[in-house]
C-alpha cells in the first residue's frame, strides 16, 4: 500500500505531556507553550483536561489556561474529559472538541479511575450525551491498546471489543494509546488489521510512546497500513512522573522531521516547532527526550 501523502498531527504536549510532569507548571508557562504551538501550523491541539484536581494536580488550572490562550482561527483546541462532570465544564467553556478516555485493560482502568472498563462505558455514554446536546465533536481514546503494565499483552480482539462499545455510542474517531510503550511494529500491525476488519466504521488515530525506542517504527508501520492521524507531544514530554527524563510520547518535532523528509506533508513548520520545544524545555526539569531538539534537523 502507498503511504499517505499527508497526515494530521494532534499535539498533546500541553495536556498529556504536562500532566505527567512531576514539577508544578505555572498557568503562565502553559499558556506560553500553547500560544507557541499555535504558531507552528499545527491544526489540532489538546490544550486542557477537565479531570479531578485531586487526581491530576497539574491540570487544576485548566479553566484559567483555556481562558488565557490566544485561540487561532482554524485550530481545533480540545479537552480531555473522563466523565459527565468534565464534559459539562468543557461544554460550558466552549471547547472545539472533546476526547473521552477508557483503557483496553481492566488492570489499568481500575488504577486510573477505580472502575472496570465495562463500568467506565457508562461514563463514556454520559460524555457522549453531553457532547451531542452541546453539538461538540467527540473523539475516543483507548489506552493500553498495545499492552498493559498490569495485565500484560492485550489481545487485538479485546481492543476491537472496547472499540465496538465506543462505536455503538456514536464515537467514530478513536485514538489508540501505547500508554507505557509496549507496542512494537508487530503488535501495531495486529491491532490495526483487527480494527480494519471488524470495526471499519472507526477512523483511527495512533498515540505512540517511545519508552522502549519503538515510537517512530510504530508510526511507519501504521503509515504502511494507511493510518494518517497521529498524536505527538512537543519535546517528547509525557514520560513517567516517577523518572526524570524518561521517554514519553513520541516528540512532535521528531515525527514532523521524519515525515517531511519522506515527502509526507504535515503542514507544520519544523523551525517554529523547535521554538515551541525550547519553550517547553524552559519549564521542564531535566532534558526533554526529543532527538531533533538535541541534534537539530538533518540539514541545518
Residues near Mg ion, by CB under 5 A: 16, 238, 249
Q: Considering the complex, what minimum distance in angstroms separates the CB of residue 49 from Mg ion?
A: 12
Please give the grid coordinates belonging to residue 97: 472538541
Q: Considering the complex, what minimum distance in angstroms separates the CB of residue 207 from Mg ion?
A: 6
Report the relative pairing of strands 8-11 and 229-232 from DSSP bridges.
Answer: parallel
Secondary element (H or E) of residue 41: none
Q: Considering the complex, what minimum distance in angstroms separates the CB of residue 126 from Mg ion?
A: 24
Q: Where are the beta strands (DSSP E) in the chain?
A: 8-11, 44-49, 76-81, 97-103, 138-143, 173-177, 203-207, 229-232
Closer to Mg ion at the Cβ: 18 or 166?
Answer: 18
Q: Measured between alpha carbons, how far is 114 from 105 in angstroms, rounded to an integer?
A: 12
Q: Considering the complex, what minimum distance in angstroms separates the CB of residue 298 from Mg ion?
A: 26
Closer to Mg ion at the Cβ: 126 or 235?
Answer: 235
Q: Give the burial class of 239: count Cβ atoms within 10 A of its Cβ; 0-12 exposed, 13-18 middle, 19 or more buried.
A: buried
Closer to Mg ion at the Cβ: 123 or 231?
Answer: 231
Please give the grid coordinates belonging to residue 147: 499492552
Q: Considering the complex, what minimum distance in angstroms separates the CB of residue 177 from Mg ion?
A: 6
Smallest CA-to-CA distance from 81 within 35, 33, 25, 137 is with 137
Q: Considering the complex, what minimum distance in angstroms separates the CB of residue 248 from Mg ion?
A: 6
Closer to Mg ion at the Cβ: 183 or 238?
Answer: 238
Closer to Mg ion at the Cβ: 126 or 210?
Answer: 210
Closest residue to Mg ion in the complex (CB): 16
3-state secondary structure of 39: coil
Please give the grid coordinates belonging to residue 260: 517531511
Closer to Mg ion at the Cβ: 120 or 141?
Answer: 141
Amino acid at each position: 500500500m502507498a503511504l499517505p501523502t499527508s497526515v494530521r498531527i494532534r499535539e498533546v504536549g500541553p495536556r498529556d505531556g504536562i500532566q505527567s510532569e512531576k514539577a508544578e507548571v505555572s498557568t503562565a508557562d502553559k499558556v506560553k507553550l500553547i500560544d507557541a504551538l499555535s504558531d507552528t501550523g499545527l491544526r489540532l491541539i489538546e490544550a486542557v483536561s477537565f479531570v479531578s484536581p485531586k487526581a491530576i494536580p497539574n491540570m487544576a488550572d485548566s479553566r484559567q489556561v483555556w481562558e488565557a490562550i490566544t485561540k487561532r482561527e482554524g485550530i481545533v483546541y480540545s479537552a480531555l474529559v473522563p466523565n459527565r462532570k468534565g464534559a459539562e465544564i468543557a461544554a460550558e467553556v466552549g471547547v472545539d472538541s472533546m476526547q473521552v478516555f477508557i483503557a483496553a485493560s481492566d488492570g489499568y482502568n481500575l488504577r486510573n479511575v477505580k472502575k472496570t472498563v465495562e463500568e467506565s462505558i457508562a461514563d463514556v455514554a454520559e460524555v457522549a450525551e453531553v457532547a451531542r446536546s452541546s453539538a461538540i465533536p467527540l473523539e475516543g481514546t483507548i489506552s493500553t491498546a498495545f499492552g498493559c503494565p498490569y495485565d500484560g499483552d492485550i489481545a487485538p480482539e479485546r481492543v476491537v471489543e472496547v472499540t465496538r462499545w465506543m462505536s455503538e455510542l456514536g464515537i467514530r474517531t478513536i485514538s489508540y494509546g501505547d500508554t507505557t510503550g509496549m507496542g512494537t511494529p508487530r503488535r501495531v500491525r495486529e491491532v490495526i488489521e483487527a480494527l480494519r476488519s471488524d470495526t471499519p466504521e472507526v477512523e483511527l488515530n495512533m498515540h505512540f510512546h517511545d519508552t522502549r525506542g519503538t515510537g517512530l517504527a510504530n508510526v511507519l508501520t501504521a503509515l504502511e497500513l494507511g493510518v494518517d492521524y497521529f498524536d505527538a507531544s512537543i519535546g517528547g514530554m509525557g514520560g513517567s512522573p516517577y523518572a526524570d527524563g524518561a521517554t514519553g510520547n513520541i516528540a512532535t518535532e521528531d515525527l514532523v522531521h521524519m515525515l517531511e523528509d519522506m515527502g509526507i506533508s504535515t503542514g507544520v513548520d519544523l523551525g517554529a516547532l523547535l521554538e515551541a520545544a525550547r519553550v517547553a524545555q524552559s519549564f521542564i526539569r531535566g532534558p526533554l527526550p526529543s532527538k531533533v531538539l538535541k541534534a537539530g534537523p538533518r540539514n541545518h
